[in-house]
Structure 1
Amino acid sequence: MDTTPVDMSHLFEQLGLANQAQAITQFIATHKLSPQTHLTDAPFWTQAQKSFLIEALAADAQWTELIEQLDAQLRRP
Structure 2
Amino acid sequence: MDSPTHDLKGLFDQLGLDSSQKGIDDFIASHSPLAGDKKMIDAEFWTPQQAGFLKEQIREDADWARVVDDLNLRLHQRH
Please report the TM-score for the alignment, with normalisation by the length of structure 1: 0.91
SS in 2 for 1:44: coil
Identity across matched positions, percent? 36
Consecutive unaligned residues in structure 2, runs of 5 or more: none
Higher RCO structure (Cα 8 Å, ≥6 apart): 2
Q: What amino acid is the match of 2:8? A: M
Consecutive unaligned residues in structure 1, runs of 5 or more: none
Q: Cα RMSD between the aligned structures?
A: 1.5
Q: CA deviation digits over 1:24-64, x for unaligned, max 9?
A: 00000000211010111001000000000011111101111
Cα separation, 2, equivalents of 1:16 and 1:57: 18
Equivalent position of 1:31 in the other structure: 31
How many residue pairs get aligned? The number is: 75
SS in 1 for 2:38: coil
Please report the TM-score for the alignment, with normalisation by the length of structure 2: 0.89
